[in-house]
A and B are shown apart, each in its own frame.
Chain A
Amino acid sequence: MAKDTINLSVNGIDYTFSIGDNFGQVPCNETLLDTLRNRLNLTAAKKACDEGACGCCTVIKDGDAVPSCMTLLADCDGCQITTLEGLSDPVTGELSELQQKFIDYYAFQCGFCTPGIIMTTKALLDKNPHPTEEEIRDALSGNYCRCISHYHVFEAVNAIAGRPEDLDEKWEGRR
């Protein structure tokens, strides 16, 4: 039987939720995305399809990029969750290197997909610091970006994965 008390850490802060239908409890069918957005006011992860198809709600759960709209809070007991808010320095707000690369390489237009794409990319790089173009594309194939900024995302990831030489020619005159 599922536990009725859930302990989890979100961006390094511990939280305890009680699962149930009483006042102050979290319903057993609540998704992690809703918990993040509505209870913790962490709104970087977006709800764009609510069915696991677009990747806008991606967070890192124990090292894996997961769609938080398809993850139940009740299944997160003992888990470490990282959202986009957890990447910048909590005190100074300074951006992580990965975030900075997304800026340097113009890796988005409207930015709505960006929280999910950065988290997918981070999970990839944490596991595989030097992914090939193929591996990058594979990892990102679950993240919709309708502005089609993926080309710039590939470049941002390549820049951090240590193969900037691929970029020089393409970026001439643009930066």
Chain B
Amino acid sequence: MNSISQSVPKRDHGEKVSGRAVYTADYPNTDLLTARVLRSTKPHAVIRDVAVPELPEGYFYVDHRDIPARNQVQMGLGDTPVFAVEEVRYIGDPIGLIVGPDPETVDRLLSEVIVKYEELPFINDPHKSDMNFFEYDYGKGDPDQKFQEADLIYEETFHTGAQEQAYLETQGMIAEPDPETGGVIVHGSMQCPFYLVSALEPVLDMEPGQLRVIQDVTGGGFGGKEDYPSVLACQTAVAALKTGKPVRIVLSREEDMTVTSKKHPSETKIRGALKDGKLTALDIDICYDSGAYSTLSMVVLQRGIISAPGVYKCDDIKVHGTAARTNVVPYGAYRGFGGAQVFFAIERFMDHLAEKAGLDPVDFKIANTAVQGDLTSTSGRYHFHVPIPEMTDQVMEAADYRRKQEEYSKPQDGRYRRGIGMSLCFHGDGFTGNGERDLIKAVVRMTKDTDDKAHIFVSSTDMGQGFFTSLPKIASRELEIPVEDIIYEMPDTHKTPDSGPTVASRSTMVVGELIRRASQKLKEEWVPGEEAEVYEHYTHPDFMIPFDISKFNGDAYPTFSWGVYCVEVLIDTLTGLVSLPGVWTSFDVGTPIDLNILTGQMEGGVMQSLGYSSMEQIPYDQSCRIRNNKFSDYLIPTASDYPDIHVMYCPVEYPHGPYGAKGAGELPAVGAPSAYAAAVEQAVGGLFAKIPITAEEVLNAVGRNA
């Protein structure tokens, strides 16, 4: 084991176990105005009138007329308004704010506002959408020819539902006028401080020097705090400038679940050809329901379509993808970023294709898995070893898969039935395509002070994933000074350079490597008792085949993290309840930077993925209203549901990551659903091509196959 993997105590633990950590909602009310958002109650309508009650002194109504410059939150196609002007496009669309000192009074005033709407037709089904925000086609080889030559052609359509991030800290933001610059200081719960700066610039027509964004302690993100904090930042900043006071919005749980982004529901149709036991062609059509605004759907869809052929080698493919507009909450980033949907589809497809062909699913998958040097879906290369075969062996052995698979495939007719399934996945590390080189251009800064302490300045946030600990570990190792002598303060855009957003599993691999190199430089300049400062800039790995996004051609990712999952189920056929006697996983995330932190991430990601497979769903009523926007209705796995999750590692070192580390945070949340579905399928029969598989679906299958 690399010694960097040995765990050290987490840096933010003391504050968190003592209750001293100050989250956005914990700042005292006394110095702040409270803002509550007036929201659309219609899925699609023209606003005819907003009647605001007479406001007591010190209370304000804020809407689009108060925006100094552009009413547009910078994301996606720029279609997301800070406040709706004439049209509202989903239930929860913001119209204005009531702001004032006493939260109860603000609530009462808000309830007295009357909005008159003229309702418009709305779309709740992406198939009936009038507009695709994004649509892409790519391919290679000659799939038509391969279909003609095939021994077997198989086609199936797969569906996945939405998933709520359900971070326990709801979103919140505080903005206050900054008398020094005439601008604003914004702080709150967020993943990407510099995204907020870019969002505020055009809305307020201010320079970055007037816009200071600081991360507060953040209680979980999972992708959900990538884009929406930009909306809250713009709203609170406009209110702070109007009132001249600090203004805070903290969303209630219902509000957060109603308006913030979630994982895109999807439909994926796959048609594939088999010849001599090999997968020879794929024709894939993907549709992501994107909700009312484009937000992050472009990049989610790109990652989805690039990942759609899965871990398999197939040189003749055709892929089509759309992100369709509807009148529901805008969908966005969720840990995995478009990957979970397509891996569910391709893995289920491969299981069913194997079954049709009379082949063992695992053997069939391994025989078709890409190896080092093979072409990726976009004709880039798998530049490094693909450890899927060893990982699969490791998992099968730990799970006793072969024996169980054989035993459970015999007819079962008791009340309790068992099944076992496996799935494979990858997660492309870092931004898609040339994003790191052309868009992000990450920079890190390090200093040393006269007390011989080193300081790290990066915009990367810790929202629970442990970066406040793993990054100083890297610096400590290079500088050969104790971790305690390395200071890494909350990201503040006036102090830290832009090291990029905390997304795409890029932080350890990209920012970690920059800090490793910066630490080496700092060491060279290290004179005890004297100050020093160094910067380090991103350099694009020279082995990469340039990526052309217009053709989806080249290396979409420098390297990949890999995952293998095995899920065993025990099903009560009277109740439809599924319990999990065991879950076995193996991950290649390169060199683990801290085993404790990493294992926590892996267990968490796998369990979120199992919740997505089995119980988490977002049903809408006839008028596009989310029916379960509460924790008492949106159920997530809890302590009593947790199976034994065995986490194993199979590190393939990546030469351009720190000590060989690659991306880790998203991977565990990508691949479990198909293994879950395969296990349920074995236990009760039928074809499972849709998640979540609820107890009801299980009972239906039991009924059908009785």
Contact = CB atoms under 8 A, between A and B. Distances in A.
Interface in B627-647: 630-632, 636-640, 642, 645
Most buried by A among B463, B596, B638: B638
Contacts of B632: 49, 51-53
Interface in A59-75: none
Interface stretch (A1-9, A112-120, A158-166): A112-120
B6 interface: yes
Contacts of A114: 16-17
Nearest to B464: A110
Contacts of B167: 110, 112, 146
Given A49-B632, A53-B631, A103-B17, A146 B166 contact: yes
A72 to B, nearest CB: 16
Contact of B168 (A45, A104, A145): A145
Contacts of B607: 148
B517 to A, nearest CB: 28
B168 A109 contact: no
Interface in A83-108: 83-85, 87-88, 93, 95, 99-100, 102-104, 106, 108
A50 to B, nearest CB: 7
B394 interface: no
Interface of B: 1, 5-7, 9-10, 12-23, 25-26, 28-29, 165-170, 217-220, 222, 252-253, 463-466, 595-597, 599-601, 603-604, 607-608, 630-632, 636-640, 642, 645
Contact of A88 (B18, B466, B630): B18
Given A109-B604, A148-B603, A84 B645 contact: no
A130 interface: no
Given A53-B631, A103-B10, A147-B604, A93 B252 contact: no
A110 B190 CA distance: 13
A75 to B, nearest CB: 20
A22 interface: no
Interface residues of A, number: 60
A41 B330 CA distance: 36
A103 B600 contact: no
Contacts of A104: 9
A175 interface: yes
Given A106-B597, A148-B608, 17 more contacts: A48-B253, A51-B253, A51-B632, A95-B14, A102-B13, A103-B14, A108-B16, A109-B466, A110-B167, A111-B16, A111-B219, A112-B23, A112-B220, A118-B17, A144-B638, A145-B168, A146-B636
A56 B640 contact: no
Nearest to B668: A148
A143 B631 CA distance: 11
A109 B464 contact: yes
A149 interface: yes
Contacts of A38: 29
Contacts of A85: 18-19
Contacts of B29: 38
A127 interface: no
30 contacts: A38-B29, A44-B18, A49-B631, A50-B252, A51-B253, A51-B632, A52-B632, A54-B631, A84-B19, A85-B19, A95-B14, A102-B17, A104-B9, A106-B600, A109-B220, A111-B17, A111-B21, A112-B23, A113-B168, A115-B19, A136-B639, A137-B642, A143-B638, A144-B636, A144-B638, A146-B168, A146-B222, A150-B642, A151-B645, A152-B600
A126 interface: no
A149 B18 contact: no
B218 A110 contact: yes
Q: Interface residues of A: mostly helix, strand, loop or mixed?
A: loop
A39 B219 CA distance: 23
B448 to A, nearest CB: 28
Nearest to A109: B464
A141 interface: yes
Most buried by A among B6, B13, B17, B645: B17
B604 A48 contact: no
Nearest 5 A/B pairs, CB to CB = A44-B19, A110-B464, A112-B219, A111-B16, A148-B604
Nearest to B28: A41
A112 B167 CA distance: 9
A93 to B, nearest CB: 7
A144 B463 CA distance: 17
Nearest to A116: B168
Contacts of B466: 109
Contacts of A45: 19
Given A41-B28, A147-B600, A137 B640 contact: yes
A147 B601 CA distance: 8
A16 to B, nearest CB: 21
B672 to A, nearest CB: 13
A93 B19 CA distance: 11
Contacts of A37: 26
B18 A46 contact: no
